[in-house]
Amino acid sequence: GAVVSQHPSWVICKSGTSVKIECRSLDFQATTMFWYRQFPKQSLMLMATSNEGSKATYEQGVEKDKFLINHASLTLSTLTVTSAHPEDSSFYICSASDGQKLFFGEGSRLTVL
């Protein structure tokens, strides 16, 4: 069946550096992908909607200049956390729909030291 894959699964970085997370739809095309963030012991919160070929739509309170989203192809969206700080440490999860079903990636755990 259709699968959404994220890479990397986990990443540790130093404060002030940038980190890129990839979200791929493996056997379907997705004009829209979604990025969620989950802090420890909390629920998932939608960060932004990634739109192929156009700008992402960010939810209220999410800094678009800090969380850069690029959806350059129908199978790939990337989330770049710029100038990461410890408070950005979280579990980032993407999702995409093939028009019938909704699929979540495996998640990417970011730890900022």
What are the backbone angles phi and psi of residue 76, rounded to the nearest 5°? -145, 125
> CB under 8 Å to 52, separation ≥6 — which residues?
30, 31, 32, 71, 72, 73, 74, 77
Site string for other proteins, 40-59 (x = CB under 8 A): --xxxxx--x----------
Spatial separation of the C-alpha atoms in residues 12 and 81, rounded to whole Å: 12
Q: Please identify, among the stretches 16-24, 70-78, 82-90, 95-103, the one whose residues bind other proteins according to the rule CB under 8 A.
A: 95-103
**In the set 21, 24, 34, 37, which binds other proteins (CB under 8 A)?**
34
Site for other proteins contains 90 (CB under 8 A): no
| Positions that interact with other proteins (CB under 8 A) | 32-34, 42-46, 49, 93, 95-97, 99, 101-107, 109
